[in-house]
Structure 1
Amino acid sequence: MKTKPYYAIFTLCISFLVTFAVQAVEISVKLTDIDKKPVADLVVYLVPLEEQNLENLTPTSLMINQTDKKFNPYISVILKGMPVIFNNEDDITHQVYSTSTSNRFSFRIKSERTKSIEPLKNTGKILMGCNIHDWMSGYLLVLNTPLYTKTDHQGVAKFDVKQTGRYTLSVWHPQLLAENQTISQNINIQSSDIYNISLSNKLADIPNQENPESFDFLDDY
């Protein structure tokens, strides 16, 4: 009889600890350039350094549009092994290809059609182009973590981290003037926090996404 109150307290403590362990914390990452201005469309991702369980965080498939003879968005990101769908919103055909040797694809996609490609099995950046409209370019970053997003117009990326612990925080952009276009730092996430990162250089210019000619003789393709 005397042990029952202690058993009840012990059970309550265990329940509290489990609830606390799985409670999500919100992490914000704010990116600014050398002029202290916010930088949008930077890929920000977290890679766990401990045995955090990320199995329940698998994102959905990715859709990349071709709109007005451009890849929309210019930068996309996906977890390795997840489906990628291309959606041609133009009234012309595109011949989409990748320059990656480890994630190679090439296909023709007609107007107002979609095309699914095989799940990408290797991590890394993929430069995409169009053999018909050679000024078109876009990037797809394949990661081995589901914890990724892009900065908004305020230069802010937000995460709901389900498990605390040590992570590598990385920032990537194809025009980032850094080794492998990436900057990284290790962080220890224990509670909600804001991480301010200031880029040491401005981004390089994004290649022109318009037809350089005054006319487009390939419109009929």
Structure 2
Amino acid sequence: MQILNFKGWTAIFLCLSSLAQAGEIRVNVKDQHAKPVEDAVLLLTPVDPTKMPRLKPKDEVVDQIDKEFMPYVKPVVAGSKVFFPNKDNVRHHVYSFSPAKSFEIQLYSGKSAAPVVLEKPGIVVLGCNIHDWMLGYIYVADTPYFAKSKADGTILIDGLPEGDYQMRIWHPGMGMTAGETGKQVSIHDGNVSQLNWQINVKPVTRISRKSSSQGPGY
């Protein structure tokens, strides 16, 4: 039988304490017509800046399938590397002229393109120089606490340490601003906060090319 020393028990206690204190927030997002909003990005920022953990960039993926960016909206933490694999049978030319990140990936197919590092928080609008209907968005977050709404408008952010948080929300239909700031929420004793949030969004037109009759060269 393995006997844990004092340090071992301390580590377990701290781990269990952290889990016990973790809370979550659930938000239902609807538009001005009371319809669920998909692809809204919710962000929580600690009110006390000393409680902001160190950001941990990740390797992320925005795919290109059926001449569309997948997913349409992708939230990532600042500093992340984003790969743009091309699974179509045509070449794409991905670009962005956004203040948060300006870049170009010349014509390519497959997985040959080098990743793009997104260091600066903000909104990166994606386009394709060959297929001008292709449109996508990357929200580069300055906080590790974020999530995106599902088709039914629901968002869940769990594993939140105790403390007060400022809420912020963004959707492509809100334009290229940083988003709308909401009220503060408090997380304590592993509580679950359930909120409703109505936002004003403009219609976003997305043209699907899945049934396109154009040949493989385009």
Q: Fold conserved (TM > 0.5)?
A: yes
Q: Report the equivalent of 1:139.
A: 137
Q: Report the equivalent of 2:198.
A: 198
Q: Report the equivalent of 1:94.
A: 92
**C-alpha separation between the residues in 2 aligned to 1:20 and 1:97?**
42
**C-alpha separation between the residues in 1 aligned to 2:22 and 2:192?**
9
Shift of the 59–80 alpha-carbon distance from structure 1 to 2, 3 Å rule, reads closer
Shift of the 102–34 alpha-carbon distance from structure 1 to 2, 3 Å rule, reads closer
Q: TM-score, normalised by structure 2?
A: 0.80
**C-alpha separation between the residues in 2 aligned to 1:20 and 1:79?**
22
**C-alpha separation between the residues in 2 aligned to 1:65 and 1:165?**
36
What percentage of residue pairs aligned between the two structures are identical?
Answer: 31
Counterparts of 1:43-192 in structure 2 under 5 Å? 43-50=41-48, 51-55=50-54, 58=56, 60-176=58-174, 180=177, 182-185=179-182, 186-190=184-188, 191-192=191-192
Q: Report the equivalent of 1:220.
A: 217
How far off is 1:182 after superposition?
A: 1.5
SS at match of 2:17: helix
SS at match of 1:175: helix
SS at match of 1:36: coil
Alpha-carbon contact 1:52-1:163 (below 8 Å) kept: no
How far off is 1:109 after superposition?
A: 4.8
**C-alpha separation between the residues in 2 aligned to 1:105 and 1:20?**
40
Shift of the 118–111 alpha-carbon distance from structure 1 to 2, 3 Å rule, reads closer
Alpha-carbon contact 1:85-1:114 (below 8 Å) kept: no
Q: TM-score, normalised by structure 1?
A: 0.79
Alpha-carbon contact 2:57-2:79 (below 8 Å) kept: no
**C-alpha separation between the residues in 2 aligned to 1:71 and 1:187?**
33
Structure with max Cα Rg? 1
Shift of the 194–114 alpha-carbon distance from structure 1 to 2, 3 Å rule, reads farther
**C-alpha separation between the residues in 2 aligned to 1:141 and 1:195?**
22
- The one-letter amino acid paired with 2:28 is K
SS at match of 2:166: strand
Alpha-carbon contact 2:24-2:159 (below 8 Å) kept: yes
Q: Paired residues, what number? A: 200
Q: Report the equivalent of 1:8.
A: none
Alpha carbon RMSD of aligned pairs, Å?
Answer: 2.7
Counterparts of 1:33-52 in structure 2 under 5 Å? 33-50=31-48, 51-52=50-51
In structure 1, the gaps of 5 or more residues are: 1-14
